Amino acid sequence: MSKQPQFLIVDDEQEVCNFFSYLLKKKGFIVITANTGKEAFEKLQQYQFDTALVDLMLPDANGLDILKQIKQEQPGCEVIIITGYSTVKSAVEAIQLGAFDYVEKPFVDINEMEILLERSLDAKHDTEEFLVAQEELGFVVGKNQKMISMVSAARKIAKKNITVLIQGETGTGKEVLARYIHSVSHRNDRPFLAFNCGAFTETLLESELFGHEKGSFTGATHQKKGIFEQANRATLFLDEVDSASPAIQIKLLRVLETGEFLRVGGEDMCKVDVRIIAATNANLAEKVTENKFREDLFYRLDVASLHIPPLRERPDDIDLFIDYFTKKESEAKQVPVKKFSNEALTIMKQHKWPGNIRELSNTVAQALLLSKDKVIGVEDLPERVIRSISDRDKPEEMSKPEQPATEKEEDPGPAASTVLAKEIIDYFESKFLPNINFREGFDFNQFTSKISSCNNAMIAKVIEAALEDTYGNQVKAAKLLGITPRALRYHLQKTKEEK
């Protein structure tokens, strides 16, 4: 006969202990209760538990401390945290520390509670389902424990109707994680809408987010629904949320608090039910301190906070990602799957990947395209990857050209664009202009057309290089070029039309 499951209930409210005792005993389970942290620690010495339900806020202890103690003394015991809405952030932290899940007071859905308690007794099966779901969704997590704990927390909070804030460096996969949260949430039968707040000016951003009424500004020839209305009852992913201006932040705060907003130029209040997942590569807490982001909006967004570790902290996952992206690119291009040579793999593992997974994905795609053999070699890797390793291996004193101690540091000189323009004009004046024989005929229209085509081609190449340097991030590329994201998109569209 199998051992009866044994539950520990830790809550300073006797009514909560009585509730769970009744719920579990009628199923034939053994229930032990404790009203304080001290009692809970004593019970842990006396009994072996299968599942413990622990209140986060006890008069003499913190629920997180009890969780750590349980995991240390009885690692096989699953822990479910009991919390109120005001402590959901701590509950998410608890999951990343090893808690099985959390439940919020008051307990509304008894059936869902019973399912959760039953699942806690078969945590292995629950983990297997988790891994299968990832595979089906094409979501690669890897072997890094920080990442596994973070994604486990994401899966648990996906079922809750709460706002999520995802933080991480550029290219770590914030949108991929957001899509995963949506796909395992109760809204997965509704659309997932992604929106980049950094890609618009303040005026355009307000119209894109909240819509506008006909005649509200020049060019507003008809009423337009904003992204919030389109995302009603669905999930809205707001990327680079820190780019929103103070005025937009106020409107975002109102939507999060009440679900209400006004269209630009509108008088009728719009009401929506939207699940917000916000993301940023900035440190929002620091931005709040610097008065660059509203504190009240930060706390509204930071209900459940997830941080994606950069790829350089996950070196053991690089092989896994290379394999995944190689197969994915090969299938997309309908070419045989290739392998990377040991030398190429060694270099890729040593590279720091400042652009994270996005950079790795682009690198694999580029190497696959350049390689002419069945094996992808070092010569097929992008120059920036090879150069980053060779530069790092140089001794510090070798990295700078030697110069006399008395010699002053050279003036860096004019910008590269100015030098290039001068070289082109000098070449034109010395080589091209003297050889023109106007008397034999000169097609000026054809000449200006060729110059224009050459100019556009050079602009396209410069933008392409800037995008490669920022791993496809148009907002950052525009900043490097000293133009607006809108101007960048205009040039990209122009290049596309000319092809």
The CATH number given to whatever domain includes residue 256 is 3.40.50.300
State whether 333 and 229 are in the same domain.
no
Query: In the 8-state DSSP scheme, what is residue 61?
Result: -
Q: Which of 60, 91, 121 is the last residue of a domain?
A: 121
Structure tokens belonging to residue 473: 């991030």
Q: What is the domain range of residue 362?
A: 312-398
pTM here? 0.73
Give the count of domains, the chain.
4
State whether 324 and 293 are in the same domain.
no
CA distance 271 to 273: 7
CB 363 within 8 A of CB 468: no
State whether 388 and 300 are in the same domain.
no
Phi-psi category of 459—alpha, beta or left, where left has phi over 0 and alpha has psi -120 to 50? alpha
State whether 88 and 161 are in the same domain.
no
Query: In the 8-state DSSP scheme, what is residue 278?
Result: E
Residue 179 counted as domain residue = yes
State whether 274 and 174 are in the same domain.
yes
Helix (H, G, I), strand (E, B) or coil at 70: helix
Residue 323 counted as domain residue = yes
Per residue of the chain (499 residues), what is the pLDDT tens digit? 357 899 999 999 999 999 999 999 999 999 999 999 999 999 999 999 999 999 999 999 999 999 999 999 999 999 999 988 667 788 888 888 889 999 988 888 889 899 999 989 887 666 666 665 566 666 788 888 888 888 888 988 998 889 999 999 999 999 999 999 999 899 999 999 999 998 888 888 999 999 998 888 777 788 889 999 999 999 999 999 999 999 999 999 999 999 999 999 888 899 999 999 999 999 999 999 999 999 999 999 998 999 999 999 998 899 999 999 999 989 888 888 899 999 999 999 999 999 999 999 999 998 988 888 889 999 999 888 888 776 655 444 434 444 444 444 444 445 556 556 666 776 666 667 777 777 777 777 777 777 777 777 788 888 888 887 777 778 888 888 888 877 777 788 777 766 6
Least Cα distance to 173 among 282, 351, 307 occurs for 307
Residue 46 counted as domain residue = yes
CA distance 69 to 74: 8
The strand ranges marked E within 304-365 are 304-307, 339-340
State whether 147 and 295 are in the same domain.
yes
Which pLDDT value is given to residue 413?
Answer: 45
The Cβ of residue 396 has, within 10 Å, a number of other Cβ atoms equal to: 6
Residue 372 counted as domain residue = yes
CA distance 104 to 83: 5
Residue position matching structure tokens 């133009």: 483
State whether 154 and 297 are in the same domain.
yes
Residue 128 counted as domain residue = no
State whether 299 and 318 are in the same domain.
no
- Looking up residue 392, the CATH number of its domain turns out to be 1.10.8.60
Residue 58 counted as domain residue = yes
State whether 102 and 164 are in the same domain.
no
Q: Which of 281, 307, 333 is the last residue of a domain?
A: 307
State whether 298 and 158 are in the same domain.
yes
State whether 155 and 296 are in the same domain.
yes
Residue 93 counted as domain residue = yes
State whether 109 and 50 are in the same domain.
yes
- Looking up residue 472, the CATH number of its domain turns out to be 1.10.10
Residue 203 counted as domain residue = yes
Asked if the peptide bond before residue 106 counts as cis, ω within 30 degrees of 0, the response is yes
Which pLDDT value is given to residue 481?
Answer: 86
CB 46 within 8 A of CB 117: no
